[in-house]
Chains A and B, each alone.
Chain A
Amino acid sequence: MNRSAIRYVVLFFVYGFAQVLFFKRLVLFDRAFCLVYVSFILILPISINQLSLLLVAFLLGVGIDVFYDSLGLHAMSLVAVAYLRNYWLSAITPQGGYDSGTSPTLAANGFPWFALYSAPLVFIHHLLLFFVEAGGFHNFWFTLSKVIGSLFFTLTVMFLLQYLQRQR
């Protein structure tokens, strides 16, 4: 338990710094952003206390916000993901349930399940993020194109990272 806790603390900083120093600079077609830090909240253990999950999401979000000069924006979207995560997890429980003490990763549950698990949550995250940043629904289609573009970009990078971690 203790060792995995340390692993997640390290991952917290790895995802945070990778996002603000590297993935922040990756933008496709001027509108698809790579917001891969969301996957840190997604892969935390299933049995994690919900309150600490919310708090971790808030801290990671604020950390990202500090570098994006958008205080509160990423934190708000990430806290929403963290809140919805466990409900969504219990809604899509695979047959036989989750093994105790595991994480909802691609390695543990396979690609189709992980795609079903991550896509709606990332979509909600991006939807909140871009529309709150735009401050409303003017430029609706442009903002939506940012959401969809970023959704595909983020998911692709997220799956690739998951496959990389799989070999461990």
Chain B
Amino acid sequence: MERLFKFLYQYRVFFSFLGLEFLCIWLVIRNNQYQGAQFFNTSNRLVASTVSVSQNVTGYFSLQDINRQLAAENARLRNELERRSLMPAPRVPVATPDSALAARFEFVSAKVINNSTLQYKNYITIDKGAADGIAPGMAAINELGAVGKVKQVSKHFAVLISVLNIDNQVSCLIKRTGYFGTAQWDGLDPRVIDLKYIPRHVPVQPGDTIVTSGYNAVFPPGVQVGVVQSAVVKEEGPFYDIKVLLSQDFGKLSFVEVVRSYLKAEKDSLETTLMEEK
């Protein structure tokens, strides 16, 4: 026993090195999987306010772009409103959707205070948190398209897994044909994302619009993701290799809207019971 202690003491540096490395690797793995409230990331209040100050300085440089985007969206919405007001009111009320279904999504606007696009695992920090009703698993979008999914929240801040994160999968469909697949980033180009699992018999052509499917209830259905850039099918492959040009400009992301989906819990619990029966 004494010799064992002596041995451990003699190699204490090596063993503490091993111990620290295992601790780090455990943290890395946990950080990749875990969703919830966590202390050691940029949703931490102290860290977030530091980052936020730094963002306030650099934020001025993108104001012009934000203004242009907002003006464009405003014009689009005004056109839509104008078009609707010209339409004759239907004499017979068309089937009105259930009020719970009609109000199933609520949008919370938030400012981006930290963002990266060049790592393999990119995260985005926003300045709204649990106090504004944001919870892990919610989607974040803006007028240009899908942004990400809430990973961790603190009281006043939240960290999103960007669509540009090699671990993040988004259920998407091809708008023209309705076939659905999974969009996942390959870590290379921050403007291009892969669309996977589109079977080879489906007609896909460059220019097809890709939108979220709404099947996993994170994103509302029909949120723009991008446009097909190239679609090739390998001779022996069962699926297409589709490259999608993202509609979102992640390099200039400044504001996002977090989607609170009121029916997600209901949908999930219904589907879980089905899965358990299998």
Assess whether A70 is interfacial by the CB under 8 Å rule. yes
Interface string of A78-100 (1 = CB under 8 A from B): 01100100000000000000000
Inter-chain contact A142/B28, CB cutoff 8 Å = no
Residues A65 and B187 in contact, CB atoms below 8 Å apart:
no
B17 to chain A, nearest CB (A): 4
Judge if A2 is at the interface, Cβ distance under 8 Å.
Answer: no
Q: Does A31 contact B (CB under 8 A)?
A: yes
B120 and A76 form a contact (CB under 8 A): no
The reply to whether A67 and B42 contact each other, CB–CB distance below 8 Å, is yes
Which residues of A sit under 8 angstroms from B154, Cβ to Cβ?
none
Chain A interface category by residue count: 20 to 34
The yes or no answer to A71 lying at the interface (CB within 8 A) is yes
When the two chains form their complex, are residues A67 and B51 in contact, meaning their CB atoms are under 8 A apart? yes
Interface residues of B in 219-257 (CB under 8 A from A): none
A54 cross-chain contacts in B, Cβ below 8 A: 13, 16-17, 20
Say how far A153's CB is from chain B's closest CB, in angstroms.
13
CA distance A145 to B27 in the complex (A): 26
In the bound complex, do residue A69 and residue B28 qualify as a contact, i.e. CB atoms below 8 Å apart?
Answer: no
Q: Count the B residues whose beta carbon is within 8 Å of the partner chain — how many?
A: 38
Q: Does B31 contact A67, Cβ atoms closer than 8 Å?
A: no
Interface positions of A from 18 to 40, Cβ below 8 Å from B: 20-21, 25, 27, 30-31, 33
B187 in contact with A72 (CB, 8 Å): no
A3 to B188, CA, bound (A): 47
In Å, the complex CA distance between A135 and B120 comes to 9
State whether the Cβ of B108 lies closer than 8 Å to any Cβ in chain A.
no
Closest to B54 in A: A21
The answer to whether residues A30 and B118 also contact, given A71-B40, A72-B31 and a CB cut-off of 8 A, is: yes
Q: A79, B41: Cβ atoms under 8 Å?
A: no
Report yes or no: A139 in contact with B21, Cβ–Cβ below 8 A.
Answer: no
Q: Can you list 15 A-B contacts (CB < 8 A)?
A: A30-B118, A30-B190, A54-B16, A65-B27, A67-B51, A69-B121, A70-B28, A70-B31, A70-B121, A71-B41, A75-B24, A76-B21, A76-B25, A83-B13, A133-B119
Q: Please give the residue numbers on chain A whose beta carbons come within 8 Å of chain B beta carbons, in ascending order.
A: 20-21, 25, 27, 30-31, 33, 50-51, 54-55, 58, 61-62, 65-73, 75-76, 79-80, 83, 132-135, 139, 142
